[in-house]
Amino acid sequence: MLKLIFTFLIISFTVMDSYGALGKTFAGGKSAGTAGIRTVQSDVFSVYNNQAAIGFQEKTAFGFHAERRFMVEGLDKIQGAFVLPTSSGVFGLSLTYFGNSNYNERKVGIAYGRKLSENLTLGGQISYLGLNIAEFGQRNTFTFELGVQYFINPDLLIASHIYNPLRITLEDFQEEVIPTVIGLGLRYEPLKNVFLMAETEKDLNQDFRFRFGLDYAMSDLLSVRLGLLTDPASPSLGLGFNVNNLLIDISSFYHPVMGFTPHLSIAYYFGSSTSKTDLTD
């Protein structure tokens, strides 16, 4: 057990993208395929990535996402997402479990997003966080996050998001600070169904890092995605499959020291059949 905890702590403090459930990370195979870009994405997993984006969602949907961090058994993350559009805005629910019986992190979030105009949405989430370490006990706390998305024109989207702005800590656990993370992203469609994305992110305890991504919807059935995360240079690759109302995204992230992290997400949208725009918007 101690060996596993030690391994996880080493990974957590040396790999910038290693947050489990307590810090701000991305969710969904689509985001993973574009190097973890999250602020400008829009799908059911926006309940994790940027709650403002669920304000654009018009269909009830649920999704499931799983990853195995660096192919290491015991460093598994499982996430569930649900969005429900109403006349008063769009509500969302997110569930995250990371780790194993000896060390695990948990997160439950209630999200809300609302379209203020045809071009602008705002959103936020209140989250319950839990950390459990065998023989050390568990600690819990609450935090929140806020986001915005704005279409400057039909081809250009800008977005921002902040996680844990009050720097809330885990009570009685060595005053462990939950990371405060600010993200700013841009998405541009130079050609039909070709999306170029860039994002910068600042953890107040870390240096700036940058992400770049390409999302190309080749047809109604298939999308191809590429991405690059800086510091260290970590490429990603992903594929998205659209079968009527079922969207399946597979991707892999490569860290030059730790190796590959595979991702799989499945989402189902109720109502009329989805189109290729659901693979990109």
C-alpha pair distances (Å), 77 with each of 39, 128, 150, 169, 181: 20, 17, 31, 22, 20
Domain coverage including residue 229:
2-279
Write the CATH number for 21. Answer: 2.40.160.60
| Exposure letters 165-190 (e unless 16+ CB within 10 A, then b) | eeebbbeeeeeeebbbbbbbbbbbbe
Q: Tens of pLDDT along 78-126?
A: 999 999 999 999 999 999 999 888 888 999 999 999 999 999 999 999 9
Contact 185, 91 (CB under 8 A): no
- Say which residues have a Cβ less than 8 Å from residue 238's Cβ, sequence separation at least 6: 29, 30, 32, 33, 34, 224, 225, 226, 227, 249, 250, 251, 252, 263
pTM: 0.86
Burial environment of residue 272 by CB neighbours within 10 A (0 to 12, 13 to 18, 19 or more): exposed
Q: Tens of pLDDT along 248-273?
A: 999 999 998 888 999 999 999 998 65
Tell me what the mean pLDDT of segment 202-225 comes to: 92
Give how many domains the chain has, as a whole number: 1
**Percent of all residues in the chain with a pLDDT value above 70, rounded to a whole number:** 87
